[in-house]
Amino acid sequence: MILTVTLNTALDITYRVRELRPHGTHRVSEVTERPGGKGLNVARVLAALGHEVTVTGFTGGATGRVVQEQLAGTPGVLDALVPVSGATRRTTAVVDELTGDTTQLNEPGPTVTSAEWSAFQDAYEGLLGGVSAVALCGSLPPGVPVGAYAGLIRTARAAGVPVLLDTSGEPLRRGVAARPDIVKPNADELAELTGSHDPLRATQDARRRGARTVVASLGARGLLAATPEGTWHATPPARVQGNPTGAGDSAVAGLLSGLVDRLPWPARLARAVALSAATVLAPVAGEFDRAAYEELLERVAVTGDATAA
């Protein structure tokens, strides 16, 4: 069992329009809704890969009920969300069919009380006893302490559970200092953390700050990983066109899947890159095209040095 944590869960709403024009009126050609937030996206991909996944975080209000109703229909995913008095947020994506670009509007999320945060920590600690890995994903809702992920990392480490952190800003900085097993920032998040715009130097710097392994997402250039076993760069065979929403979450799912399957780092990175690219190619944002994934997996290039640390 893998545990994913999404403190700021969401109902993801996607509109498709022929052409998005500022100040204009648009006819929507298609609307989709589904449970969202980074950890829920990760869980969906893991379940599609055949893993059993438990999801936790916060849920509340009418939107939260919709999220839980839809989760109930997702094979392989167990709902362990913790109720709060506030309402789960909505995120709205508008896809421009002419250009393929996506415009995202994200609500802040419910304000979490100290009692609700305490209840979540108790629930989280109880869940760790039966899992092989945990992913801490996404933004923090209002009211949750900025050092929340650092505390959750320390709790997982005390329980002997490997932990992956995927967040940004001050929660990332504090989380790295708590020594997670893996952090997965994108290039901008990594530069903000370290002050360096050189990805190789920045990944090494982030390791010195406490992370055991740093996997940096470089967009179309793939993933760069600095690990205790070496440094590797995995790249897709070609640039893919489509909707990138959820591609980073699919990469996280690939890394977690590779971790619990005990794959060597080059194979983990190849899986993560292939999943990410296959997500861009999928017709529904955040899903992945399985046929494309299997084809891409054979052609991901991984280069590196297994002796570097």
The strand pairing partners of 2, in sequence order, are 53, 133
Structure tokens at 240: 């893919």
Please compute, for residue 189, the number of CA atoms within 13 A of its CA located in the half-sphere on the CB side.
Answer: 23
The C-alpha atoms of residue 176 and residue 186 are separated, in whole angstroms, by 14
Q: DSSP letters along 7-68, please?
A: TT-EEEEEEEES---TT----EEEEEEEEESHHHHHHHHHHHTT--EEEEEEE-HHHHHHHH
Rounded to 10 deg, the angle between the 247-260 and 265-281 helix axes is 150
Active site residue 305: no
The C-alpha atoms of residue 167 and residue 176 are separated, in whole angstroms, by 10
Q: Are strands 163-166 and 182-183 parallel, antiparallel or unpaired?
A: parallel
Q: Is 107 helix (H, G, I), strand (E, B) or coil?
A: coil
Residue pair 101/128 in contact (Cβ under 8 Å)? The answer is no
Alpha-carbon distance values, 124 to 64, 67, 78 (Å): 19, 19, 14
From the list 12, 166, 181, 249, the catalytic residue is: 249
Q: DSSP letters along 68-93, please?
A: HHHHTTSTTEEE-PEE-SSPPEEEEE
- Active site residues per annotation: 249
